[in-house]
Amino acid sequence: MSQYEFDDLLEKYLAGLCSPQEEKVVLEWYKSFINESEIALSSEEKQDIESKIWSNVYATVNREPVTTETPVIPLRPRKLYRLAIAGCAALLVAAGWYWASHRSAVQPRVLFTQEAIPKNYSFFYNEENKNREVTLNDGSIVQLQPGGAVYYPEMFSGKTRDVYLSGNAFFQITHDSTKHFIVHTEEGIVAEVLGTSFYVIHDKKTSKVEVSVVTGKVSVYERKKKNDSIAGLPANSIIITPNQKVTFKPENNQFVTSLVDDPKPVISATNGVPPARFIFEETSLDDVLATLEGTYAITIETDNQHFSNCHFTGDITKQNLYEKLDIICESIQASYEVKGTTIYIKGKGCN
C-alpha cells in the first residue's frame, strides 16, 4: 500500500466509512506505531507518548460544548480510537519532522569510525542553550553541551561500554575494571578509560578533536579501519593524565599533547583534599617546584643546576598555576616555557 493510499484509508476511517477489513488495517497500524516506531526512544518515552495521546483525546472530549437542549451521548470506544489515531497521526508527523531535521544535522553515522551505530542504541540530542545531563545505566554521567548528541545502549551488555559522541561533552565514568568505557567520535578518534572524568571537544570548522583529563587516565587513539580490534590498546595510542590534553589534527593525521589551558589542583587519592595554601618562607626552589608538581600532577624541569641554590618567599595561594610560575620566575630572574606536557624553567640560576 502506497503512502497516498494509506492517507486516503486513514481519512476514510476517521469519517467512519471503513469496512471491517479496512478498519482492522488501521487499528493494527495504530497498535504498532508506538512499539515499532523507528524513532529512537526509550520504552519509558514511548509509554509517555501513548499516555499523552490518550490525555489529549479525553481533553478534547471534555472540551466539547454541552447544552441543556442537547442530550449528552456517551462517546463510544470506536470513536475514541478514531480520535486517538488522529492524535497519533499528528504526533507521527511532528515527530517525523523533528527527527529528520535533527537527525540530518547531528547523526553523521557514516563518519563514526567507518562503522554503523548499533541499531538498539538510544539517542539524545541537546537542543537547548545549556548543558544537559545524561545518566547511563552503569551510573556514568555525560554532560552534553548545546548541539551535541550521544548514542548509548539502555544496558551495557558487551565486553566494553561503548558510546558514540557528536559534539562536545564532559564524561564522569563509573569505574569498572572488567569493562573499559569507550567513546567513539565522528572523526574516528577513540577515547578509552576504566573510570575517570574527561572532556571531549570537537572543533567543527577544523575537525580537530581535543580530549582533556580531569581525573584518572585516558588512552586516545585513531581507529583507522572498520574491523580494527580495540580489545588491546593500539600502538599509536596516547596516554594522558590529569591536566593534560591531546589534540588530533586531521590535516596531518597527527596527535599533539600539551597541558590544558587552566590546570587545576588534582584531588589526592589518599585524603581527597588538595593542598589549600601555597605559603613559602625562604623555601628552596626545588621544594617549591616539587609542591607544584605534586599539586597539579605535572612535570617541571630546570635547565641549569644553579637553580638548586635559589629560594622563594611569598604567598601564591590564590593564583592559578601559570600566575604562580610568573611570580616565582620573576623573583629569580628566570622564565618558563611549556613544551608538550612539561614545563621548563630557564635562566642563570642562583649563586
Q: Is the pLDDT of residue 338 over 70?
A: yes
CATH domain 279-346 topology = Phage tail protein beta-alpha-beta fold (3.55.50)
Q: What one-letter code names the amino acid at 110?
A: V
Q: Is the pLDDT of residue 25 over 50?
A: yes
Higher pLDDT, residue 256 or 236 = 256
Q: What is the pLDDT of residue 307?
A: 93
Q: What is the pLDDT of residue 99?
A: 44
Q: Is the pLDDT of residue 97 over 80?
A: no
Rounded Cα distance between 135 and 303, Å, is: 47
Residue 68: pLDDT band (50, 70, 90) is: very low
What are the residues whose beta carbons fall under 8 Å from the beta carbon of 39, sequence distance 6 or more? 95, 96, 99
Residue 162: pLDDT band (50, 70, 90) is: very high
Q: What one-letter code names the amino acid at 255?
A: F
43-47, 123-127, 248-252 — most confident range = 123-127
Provide the CATH number for the domain formed by 109-255 in this structure.
2.60.120.1440
Reference 267, options 299, 298, 295; nearest CA is 295
Higher pLDDT, residue 154 or 31 = 154
**Average pLDDT for residues 75-98, to the nearest whole number?**
51
6-10, 33-37, 94-98 — most confident range = 6-10
Q: Give residue-wise pLDDT tens across range 167-197.
A: 999 999 999 989 999 999 888 888 999 778 9
Residue 15: pLDDT band (50, 70, 90) is: low
Q: What is the SS3 assignment for 297?
A: coil
Rounded Cα distance between 101 and 122, Å, is: 17
Q: What is the pLDDT of residue 207?
A: 82
SS3 content of the chain, % helix, strand, coil (to 5): 30, 25, 40
Residue 54: pLDDT band (50, 70, 90) is: very low
Q: What is the pLDDT of residue 14?
A: 63
Q: Is the pLDDT of residue 106 over 50?
A: no
Higher pLDDT, residue 263 or 47 = 263
Rounded Cα distance between 71 and 63, Å, is: 16
Q: Give residue-wise pLDDT tens across range 278-292.
A: 999 999 999 999 999
Task: Give this prediction's pTM.
Answer: 0.63
What are the residues whose beta carbons fall under 8 Å from the beta carbon of 69, sequence distance 6 or more? none
Rounded Cα distance between 33 and 85, Å, is: 10
Residue 90: pLDDT band (50, 70, 90) is: low
Q: Is the pLDDT of residue 230 over 50?
A: no
Please, where in the chain does CATH 3.55.50.30 lie? 279-346
Q: Is the pLDDT of residue 228 over 80?
A: no
Q: What is the pLDDT of residue 165?
A: 92
How many beta carbons lie within 10 A of that of residue 231, not counting itself?
7
Higher pLDDT, residue 324 or 49 = 324
Query: Average pLDDT, whole number, for the chain?
Result: 76
Please, where in the chain does CATH 2.60.120.1440 lie? 109-255
Q: Which of 12-16, 188-192, 267-271 is least confident?
A: 267-271
